[in-house]
Amino acid sequence: MRLDPPFLASARVLAAGELDTLFAALAARGYETLAPGVRDGVIRLVPASGAAELPAGMHDRQAPGSYALEDGGDGELFGYAVGPDSLKGQLLPPHQSVLRATPDEGGLRIEPAPTEAARVAVVGARPCEVAATTVLERVLIGGAYPDPGAAARRKALFVVALECRRPATTCRCTSFGTGPGLEHGADLVMIELDPPPKRGGDPGAHRFLVRAQSPAGAEVLAALPTSEATRRDADRRRDALGAATRAIAASSNPEVVARGLLGHIEAPGWEEIASRCLSCGNCTMVCPTCFCTEVRDRSDLSGTLERERRWSSCFEVGHSLLTSGPVRRSVAARYRQWATHKLATWQTQFGTTGCVGCGRCVTWCPVGIDLGAEAAALAGTGAASRRGTT
Amino acid sequence: MTNASSAPAGTPVLVPLAYRVVARRHETADVTTLRLSPVADAVAPGRPGQFNMLSAFGVGEAAISLSAAPDATGEVQHTIRDVGPVSHALCTSAPGDLVGVRGPFGTDWGVDDLGYGDTVVVAGGIGLAPLAGAIDVLAERRRYGGGRVFVAVGARNPDQVMLRAELGRWLAAGVRVRVTVDAAPAGFTGGVGLVTQLLPGLGFDPARTTALVCGPEVMIRFSVRALVDLGVPPGAVRVSLERNMQCGTALCGHCQLGPLLLCRDGPVVTWNDELATLLTENER
Amino acid sequence: MIQTLPELIAAHPLFAGLPGDVAELVAGCARTVAFGPGRLIFSEGERAETLYLLRRGRVALEVRRPGKAPLMVETLSAGALLGWSWLLPPYRWHLDARALGTVLAVAIDADCLRAKADKDPEFGYRLLQRMSAVIVDRLQATRFRLLDLYGAVAP
């Protein structure tokens, strides 16, 4: 990795022991801060007020259909890859109100749900999630009818990204150019350097190399008790990212896969995948770019009605419902819709790929279907594991 | 086919405006035409081929095409088939009832560049509704020396022939209108057969024809084939396609058809080979 | 303008574009006919001995039903051919054909036409080709109508 002189000029060092100052600076600017925390045996994004709440020493083991946390007993604060949460929930909440309508003198008073957003900061977002946020922005905000709620929430979102030292076996960011380092898209981007081998021990050289990637980030960075970065710091980052890059398995070239998939729409392989797929929709729920929503009306006896928009999935049979019934009845058709949309037709629709290689859909698939491997096999560019489960 | 203009910044794109039913006409046993008038603010006037999202409050929303070109009244007209909870609530609403309207969305028939050569309109079943506004415009243009207009309408049986007032109006304006049904009791004065069988006898000049086609997807496919076989260039055929449309704003992801988001890139699209493949690929 | 029988035959889509002597050949079996509105042109079960080339007006093919008005299953217009049961044994009409207005047609005697086709296999082959195209076209249209495309909800 080439190190530009501007890198050192822009990078600052924050001692791990000073990480609380970041939380304090965010709180002082009115942000509610979310950070990684262990919930139900999984790293989630949870409200956090200081570094002490971070899951020190926790490391994840991810594989198709499996996720496990283990306590390494060390002092590394961000020593895990992505959990099921992503920044998607910040732009597009799983449930949101569209409007309320109340009977009013023979008519209805229609009150649009407020679209203002509270300030939220996320500490610990991964580079692939930042990339996914850029994808979501194009879909939700970049079209002819921008979603005002998503636009407001994006504006109110402050992202502190963490570059990756410990990719999971399911990570594929290097194939999509979305990690393990991050060159733009966050407000602040950090990498954790030299964590202590023992929790509670001497923090010693434990530190974060921090750069700002937005004016808001620069303003926060300036308020932190940082010191100048040295060439050694830059070398340590380069080595860590290099090691991570080598640890991440390469998948087939996404452009080749995209073309190949569209050329194999009627391939028998879709039926084979469908024989394993439960059509549960987990992959679409954890996917950081899946954006499908549906709208439901609920009314009470007084005539008041609440219209709600919530996440939906192309694996639901009703997703393609027409008067004549669903267009995609079979699981094979629904899987094909998901895979071809995510990996190929998304490009035509939004000018970007729909996949950022985060691996969530592989980990959280209850039967361990590996989208990338299956797609490569279907596209004729690689071999899929016939059975994805471990 | 032009795209809808962008909504003003900050417009809550998913929130409808309140309209009142001001007139209702029963077309067939399960098809109703509603005219809706804004209670206060009105949606922008739509172009023929575009659709609005109509709300039956408390039941939900459905994408329904405009069935008339905009006029000076500021009212919108929709012709709705009673096939689901929302459309049932809309079809059974009475004058004075409130209906939510947001839109207009999607691409339109592009009638502005029609009326110089021949225009052939092929409609099947409820597919006549999205075409009606375009035929209105073309019929008016015909009255003042515009190009020839031919309308072929297919229906299940004589009772299912809708928009009869419009059919009569178009005939009077010099539009050649032919109706054919799948079967009819003796005494029916229209044709019995498939809508494509009307095409050879209409008398249009294929090389200078633009065709507008709407109806069930299978009917669209074989109508386009018949038109192309007669010599109409595929690129001169415009079809209106349907997928599950829940938002109209390319935000909800339901109206996928391969590379198309039909609420944004459709419903009206120009025929091409890729489209032919998309519609015959096994989605089921 | 009065057209001769061979001209009328050559102008009809069934024979259009075939060598000139074909129309002359067919004319030897043909005569012009007219049917008033509502006239039954042929009816189910009768011997099928005529091929009609429709020149003007429309004809309905009907099926009689007990207690109900006959059901129209197809209408044919100018340029269409009416009747193909004369082509193959047992030469019986399957449906009723009724004039929907004044109908002008060229009536071709089937015995005569078959005899000419038997005697001149090249003519017979061309005739069968043209007849098959019409039959296939109507079969396909009938199949599509079977889909009940405009019905309530597709199965």
Q: What is the ipTM of this complex?
A: 0.91
Please tell me the least confidently modeled range out of A161-175, A193-207, B162-176. A193-207
Minimum CA–CA partner of B199 in chain C: C77
Residues from chain B contacting residue C60 (CB–CB below 8 Å): 186, 192
Contact A345 B256 (CB under 8 A): yes
Tell me how many domains chain C contains: 1
Residues from chain B contacting residue A101 (CB–CB below 8 Å): 57
Beta bridge partners of A110: A101
Residue B115: what pLDDT?
76
**Nearest-CA distance B78 → chain A (Å):** 17
Best mutation site among B197, B214, B218 for testing chain C: the one with the most C CBs within 10 Å? B197
Residues from chain C contacting residue A324 (CB–CB below 8 Å): 153-154
Which of A139, A266, A348 has the CB atom closest to B281's CB atom? Answer: A266
pLDDT in tens, A56-108: 999 999 999 999 999 999 999 999 999 999 999 999 999 999 999 998 887 88
Pick the CATH number of B17-105 from 3.90.800.10, 3.30.70.60, 3.40.640.10, 2.40.30.10: 2.40.30.10
B125 touching chain C per CB within 8 A = yes
**Nearest-CA distance C1 → chain B (Å):** 21
- Angle among Cα C4, C8, C12 to the nearest 5 degrees reads 170
Residues from chain B contacting residue C68 (CB–CB below 8 Å): 185
Residue A5's pLDDT band, with cuts at 50, 70 and 90, is: low
Residue B284: what pLDDT?
59
Residues from chain B contacting residue C144 (CB–CB below 8 Å): 194, 196, 218-219, 222
Q: What is the pLDDT along chain B (284 residues), one digit of tens a residue?
A: 444 444 444 456 899 999 999 999 999 999 999 999 999 999 999 999 999 999 999 899 999 999 999 988 999 999 999 999 999 999 999 999 999 999 999 999 999 988 789 999 999 999 999 999 999 999 999 988 889 999 999 999 999 999 999 999 999 999 999 999 999 999 898 999 999 999 999 999 999 999 999 999 999 999 999 999 999 999 999 999 999 999 999 999 999 999 999 999 999 999 999 999 899 886 65
pLDDT in tens, C127-143: 999 999 999 999 999 99
> Taking Cα atoms as reference points, which of B236, B223, B228 lies closest to residue B197?
B223
What are A's interface residues with C at a Cβ cutoff of 8 A? 323-325
CB-defined contacts A:B, below 8 A: 133
Residues 96-155 of C with CB under 8 A from A: 153-154
**Nearest-CA distance B93 → chain A (Å):** 14
Beta bridge partners of A307: A99, A297
What domain range is C34 assigned to?
5-131
Is C28 a domain residue?
A: yes
Domain containing residue C49: CATH number: 2.60.120.10
Is C24 a domain residue?
A: yes
A99 touching chain B per CB within 8 A = yes
**Nearest-CA distance A323 → chain C (Å):** 7
**Nearest-CA distance A317 → chain C (Å):** 16
Asked whether the predicted pLDDT for residue A115 surpasses 90, the reply is: no
Within 10 angstroms of residue A214's Cβ, the number of other Cβ atoms is 15
Question: Torsions phi, psi of B182, nearest 5?
Answer: -70, -35
Residue A382's pLDDT band, with cuts at 50, 70 and 90, is: low
B38 touching chain A per CB within 8 A = no
Residue A10's pLDDT band, with cuts at 50, 70 and 90, is: confident
> Taking Cα atoms as reference points, which of C34, C52, C14 lies closest to residue C101?
C34
B189 touching chain C per CB within 8 A = yes
A104 touching chain B per CB within 8 A = no
Which of B155, B190, B192 has the CB atom closest to C73's CB atom? Answer: B192
B37 Ramachandran zone, left/alpha/beta (phi>0; psi -120 to 50): beta
- Report whether B160 contacts B181 (CB < 8 A): yes
**Nearest-CA distance C148 → chain A (Å):** 12
Chain A touching partners, 3 or more CB pairs below 8 A: B, C
Three-state secondary structure call for residue A154? helix
CA–CA gap between residue A292 and residue B263 (Å, rounded): 14
Residue A301: what pLDDT?
86
Domain B111-240: CATH architecture, name and number where available: 3-Layer(aba) Sandwich (3.40)
- What burial letters (b/e) apply to C72-89, b meaning 16+ CB within 10 Å? bbbbbbbbbbbbbbbbee
Minimum CA–CA partner of C148 in chain A: A324
**pLDDT beneath 70: ranges in chain C:** 1, 152-155
Residues from chain C contacting residue B201 (CB–CB below 8 Å): 77-79
Contact C72 B222 (CB under 8 A): no
Best mutation site among A321, A322, A323, A324 for testing chain C: the one with the most C CBs within 10 Å? A324
Query: Side chain identity at A338, as an amino acid letter?
Result: W
**Nearest-CA distance C139 → chain A (Å):** 25
A317 touching chain B per CB within 8 A = no
Residue A390's pLDDT band, with cuts at 50, 70 and 90, is: very low
3-state secondary structure C32-52: EEEECCCCEEECCCCECCEEE
CA–CA gap between residue A113 and residue A324 (Å, rounded): 33
Helices (H), chain A: 5-10, 19-28, 88-91, 127-140, 148-155, 173-176, 215-222, 231-247, 254-262, 269-276, 282-286, 331-340, 346-350, 360-363, 371-378
Residues from chain B contacting residue C154 (CB–CB below 8 Å): 216
Is C154 a domain residue?
A: no
Minimum CA–CA partner of B241 in chain A: A322
**Nearest-CA distance B100 → chain C (Å):** 26
Which of B154, B187, B191 has the CB atom closest to C150's CB atom? Answer: B154
Which of A98, A330, A348 has the CB atom closest to B14's CB atom? Answer: A98
What's the sign of the alpha-carbon dihedral B2, A147, A158, A358? negative
